[in-house]
Amino acid sequence: MTPEVDENLLRSLTPSVLGILVRRGADFAAAEDAVQDALVEAVRVWPSGPSPGSSGREDPIRDPKGWLVTVAWRRFLDATRADAARRRREDLVDEEPAPGPAPAVDDTLQLYFLCAHPSLTPSSAVALTLRAVGGLTTRQIAQAYLVPETTMAQRISRAKRTVSGVRFDQPGDVATVLRVLYLVFNEGYSGDIDLAAEAIRLTRQLAAAIDHPEVAGLLALMLLHHARRAARTAPDGSLVPLADQDRGRWDTGSIAEGVGILRAALARDRLGEFQAQAAIGALHADAPIPEETDWVQIVEWYDELARLTDSPVVRLNRAVAVGEADGPRAGLAALASLDDSLPRYAAVAAYLHERDGDLTTAARLYAEAALKATNLAERDHLTRQAARLNTRGRS
Amino acid sequence: MAKYLLLKHYRGAPAPVNDVCMDQWTPEEISAHVQYMQDFADRLEKTGEFVDGQALAPEGTWVRYDGEGRPPVTDGPFAETKDLIAGWMVIDVDSYERAVELAGELSAAPGAGGKPIHEWLEVRPFLGASATITE
């Protein structure tokens, strides 16, 4: 037997353990602290295995969830008692866990709703979700977002205060939860924590807790996108565009899973923006070589997406797809109706002009786009594109 | 969520409204100014938006590589340098509007006469490192 703590198992138990404490009557903020303590305690004591003679209920190997609940509840009572002692109100603390009302909705789901509550700012909702649902420590979250641990601790405790008055038994809005998970996924990875993988884990867990086509759509989108990760970056860290990627390095298992989930979701006939985005991802994944990409169908999905979101960014991406389906002139015509101050407008225009053979204009626009890029990899990529056109014939 | 650099210039920024050099302030005015900056940073730490803040000495040295096996060449400081950074604060906020709002507050730090300096601060977005949905 390897006495290793399975951190994924531990973290997957976080929301249900926290839900049990809240249902027993603990307030969310205190319960969340207690569960974090129990997780830390588990990492500390579990490698040594169960102590001889420990009862089955508290045996971490046989019943990890029961163990966590017991330890977390004790921690909660200790903390509450300490608080109560300070306030000389010890008599108000009930030693025995109250049975609590039967859960109207799944605890895990309620936690997602609470942590993505509309009263929270996006960054607070993200931080709270990663801690209370994901079971990450404040230090891990701080490292992932490159901020000091004290700052992240404050962000989380403020978020907890913000939602302290929110009732735990009210259904929330799935759309707000999906936006939070999408934000986590898009952050990528820095530090020890792979936020994209964590977002997939949390979305998968959400999909198990609620039957909703858009949750499935987001999960499919993440899987299809994540499947290309190894191919998306060159060894030197530079960005590899879709058309230049080594498709042999795409993760076929992840693609198959994403396509399967998407297909089942689309069959429900309740289309949403994540399903539409995933459908576009699936069409890219379906092409063994870039030339076999079904751009006509991709344009149709962008039309759906534009209808669903009315987002100018979608119309910008659509112009690229039109350029592939009907030629660069058609793409430029689609671009002409859009606001040129949109992010990545210049990059799209540069690409279409290059395809149209106007390399001078393309080079100028690539350089302009590089100046407007909001991340390093993208800026370097665009600068390289401009340099490639400016120095052609020289090497 | 994005990080911004709030840059404070010794020189190079447009003239502030309350344009009196710090060495002409009273010691109490300087203390009040320093306290304001500290309180501002503390407040941002509590809101979960603070990343880093540092002040820089005005005198720097220019350094460059001078070839294999040779020590680097140093030069300066150049008194005529137009732009001179005094210090910075890095914040992590939900929007550009929030970054501007905070820079506005920082610019209200008191100067001569205990009145806000209204100094110009430069707000620069960080280039993010990740690029998940940009291919």
How confident is the model over A325-375, as pLDDT tens digits? 999 999 999 999 999 999 899 999 999 999 999 999 999 999 999 999 888
Q: How many domains does chain A have?
A: 2
Grouping H, G, I as helix, E, B as strand and the rest as coil, residue B4 is: strand
Structural domain for A170, as ranges: 107-206
Smallest CA–CA distance from B44 into chain A, residue: A151
User: What amino acid occupies position A226?
Assistant: H
**Which residue has 């149209």 as its token pair?**
A356
Residues 6+ apart with CB under 8 A from A31: A18, A21, A22, A72, A76
Q: Under an 8 A CB cutoff, do B132 and A196 touch?
A: yes
Which pLDDT value is given to residue A80?
85
User: What amino acid occupies position A131?
Assistant: R
Smallest CA–CA distance from A127 into chain B, residue: B48
Looking at every residue in chain B, the average pLDDT score rounds to 89
CB pairs under 8 A between A and B: 90
**CB-based contact (8 Å) between A145 and chain B?**
yes
Give, for A138, the enclosing helix (H) or strand (E).
helix A138-144
Give, for A389, the enclosing helix (H) or strand (E).
helix A376-390
**Which residue has 């030197």 as its token pair?**
A236
User: Does A184 map to a domain?
Assistant: yes
Which pLDDT value is given to residue A259?
98
Please check whether residues A7 and A88 belong to one and the same domain.
yes
A162 chain-B contacts, CB cut-off 8 A: none
Q: Under an 8 A CB cutoff, do B94 and A122 touch?
A: yes
User: Does A381 map to a domain?
Assistant: no
Distances (CA, A) of A70 to A26, A73, A218: 13, 5, 35
Please check whether residues A81 and A127 belong to one and the same domain.
no
Smallest CA–CA distance from A277 into chain B, residue: B133
Instruction: Read off the pLDDT of each residue in A13-37 and give the average, rounded to a whole number.
Output: 91
Q: Per residue in A100-140, pLDDT tens?
A: 544 545 788 989 999 999 999 999 999 999 999 999 999 99
Which pLDDT value is given to residue A1?
40
Cβ burial B33-61 (10 Å sphere, 16+ → b, else e): beebbeebbeebbebbbbbebeeeeeeee
Q: Under an 8 A CB cutoff, do B132 and A376 touch?
A: no
A241 chain-B contacts, CB cut-off 8 A: 135
Measure the CA–CA gap between A234 and A263, rounded to whole angstroms: 31
Q: Under an 8 A CB cutoff, do A127 and B48 touch?
A: yes
Structure tokens at A384: 């390289």
Pick the range with the lowest mean pLDDT from A51-55, A255-259, A319-323, B34-38.
A51-55
User: Does A223 map to a domain?
Assistant: no
Last residue of a domain, one of A206, A228, A247: A206
Q: Min CA distance, B48 vs chain A (Å)?
A: 4
A378 chain-B contacts, CB cut-off 8 A: 131, 134
User: Does A180 map to a domain?
Assistant: yes
Q: Under an 8 A CB cutoff, do A121 and B94 touch?
A: yes
Interface pTM (ipTM) of the complex?
A: 0.81
Q: Per residue in B75-109, pLDDT tens?
A: 877 777 778 888 999 999 999 999 999 999 999 99
Please check whether residues A113 and A157 belong to one and the same domain.
yes
Q: Under an 8 A CB cutoff, do A374 and B130 touch?
A: no
- Widest Cα–Cα separation across chain A: 85
User: Does A290 map to a domain?
Assistant: no
- Which candidate from B3, B93, B135 shows the least CB-CB separation from A239? B135
* Domains observed in chain B: 2-125 (3.30.70.1060)
Looking at every residue in chain A, the average pLDDT score rounds to 88
Measure the CA–CA gap between A243 and A355, rounded to whole angstroms: 13
Pick the range with the lowest mean pLDDT from A246-260, A297-311, B67-81.
B67-81
Please check whether residues A100 and A24 belong to one and the same domain.
yes
Last residue of a domain, one of A191, A206, A221: A206
Decide if A126 contacts A116 (C-beta within 8 A): no
Last residue of a domain, one of A88, A105, A122: A105
User: Does A83 map to a domain?
Assistant: yes
